[in-house]
Amino acid sequence: MSPTARVDIDATVRQALAEGLAPTALWSLLLDVFERRAAQRSPAMVRQQWENDRFVQPCAIDQRTLNSLDTHLLAAAADFEALELSPLAPLGSCSTVALTSQNRIVSTARGAEVVSDPTNVLALECAKRLRAAPDAVVKLTTSHRCVRAQAVPNRPGFAPHFRMFCLVSAAHERKDHAFLTEALIEHIRTHIAALDLLEKHGYRFPDRKLRLLATPERAHLAKRIAETITALPVTQEPLEHKYYDGLRFMLDAGTPDGNSVPLIDGGAFDWLQKLTANRRMVMVASGMGSQLAAFMFRRVAMLA
């Protein structure tokens, strides 16, 4: 068989698998394939993968440290309902509503994916609740271990799987973007309070600064938010990243070597409008790389 013919057959097979089979038939086929693959593996092969596969390596941070860290972060977010998420989410949870490639996500053979960003999963829960009660205000928080298939920065503290603390607020927008601005202010203040609380338990976050990024159309909202934040220096910058819906904030902290790390990131998103088919639904989400915080900013063994 010629190489050209083989490529054509491969393309035909890929198209048939991706588009020609009903989802249930495809999942059944893939489950059979993986069962046969697993039957061919020896204990030595499994051990070798455990030792060499970057996706399955244990976290470098002691679990007691992370559990204590979660306790303090969730305490700072007392006004948000805390959810313990499943390790899995529906297939396409990120790529259908955000500018994210499915290739950066670990997909499963059962029509699901490993959670790569809990804010996308919380958006699904917000959509579910707001479809049932459109006038509600939904405020959720979680701390979750995420897995991402994209290349990892070759720097200490970064790994394919990591723990993330996040907040999500969602509701029907009010006059003058009142909900949007109030939610962003609450997220920023909650994260500042979380850092303050952690500094009482063995952490240090020096040289903090807040950056507010906005499109020209929303620069006046960024100014409105900046005027309410007095706990740390605030700067305003133009927003060019289309991942966000016109507004973004970044909270940086200084490291012992004198560098500045963007530890907390958040902003406005249009995901809820897509999930509910309602243009007036607004969502604000933010996250902290809590595992990175434990790696870079913990001065002593944390106290309970």
DSSP 8-state class, residue 242: T
Question: Regarding beta strands 88-90 and 234-238, do their DSSP bridges make them parallel or antiparallel, or are they unpaired?
Answer: unpaired
Which burial class, exposed, middle or buried, applies to 35 when counting CB atoms under 10 A from its CB (0-12, 13-18, 19+)? Answer: exposed
Q: Does domain 63-296 correspond to CATH entry 3.30.750.80? A: no
Q: What is the pLDDT along the chain (304 residues), one digit of tens a residue?
A: 555 444 455 777 777 777 777 888 888 888 899 899 999 999 999 999 999 998 999 999 999 999 999 999 999 999 999 999 999 999 999 999 988 899 999 999 888 999 999 999 999 999 999 999 999 999 999 999 999 988 777 776 778 889 999 999 999 999 999 999 999 999 999 999 999 999 999 999 999 999 999 999 999 999 999 999 999 999 999 999 889 999 999 999 998 777 889 999 999 999 999 999 999 999 999 999 999 999 999 985 444 3
**What's the CA gap between 266 and 269, in Å, rounded?**
9
The C-alpha atoms of residue 222 and residue 89 are separated, in whole angstroms, by 33
Confirm if 60 and 297 have CB atoms less than 8 A apart.
Answer: no
CA distance 167 to 32: 39
Q: How far apart are CA 150 and CA 173, in angstroms?
A: 34
State both tokens at 79.
Answer: 């006004």
Bridge partners (DSSP) listed for residue 251: 210, 264
Q: Which residues contact 235 (CB under 8 A, 6 or more apart)?
A: 209, 210, 211, 212
Half-sphere exposure of residue 141: CA atoms within 13 angstroms, side-chain side: 22
Query: DSSP string covering 263-286, please?
Result: EEEEEEESHHHHHHT-TTEEEEEE
Given this model, what pLDDT does residue 30 score?
85
Please tell me the distance from the alpha carbon of residue 248 to that of residue 287, in angstroms, as a whole number: 12
Per-residue confidence (pLDDT) for residue 285, from 0 to 100 = 98
C-alpha to C-alpha distances, 102 to 91, 206, 239, 274, nearest whole angstrom: 9, 37, 25, 18
So what's the pLDDT on residue 110? 87
CB crowding 226-251: b at 16 or more within 10 Å, else e: beebeebebeeeebeeeebbbbbbbb
Burial class (CB in 10 A: 0-12, 13-18, 19+), 107: middle
Per DSSP, 107 falls in state: B
Cα 208–chain centre separation = 22
Residue written as token pair 């970044």: 250
The CA distance from 58 to 82, in Å, is 25
- In this predicted structure, what is the pLDDT of residue 9? 53
Q: How far is the C-alpha of 194 from the C-alpha of 287, rounded, in Å? A: 12
If you count them, how many residues does the chain have?
Answer: 304
Q: How many CB atoms lie within 10 A of CB 299?
A: 10
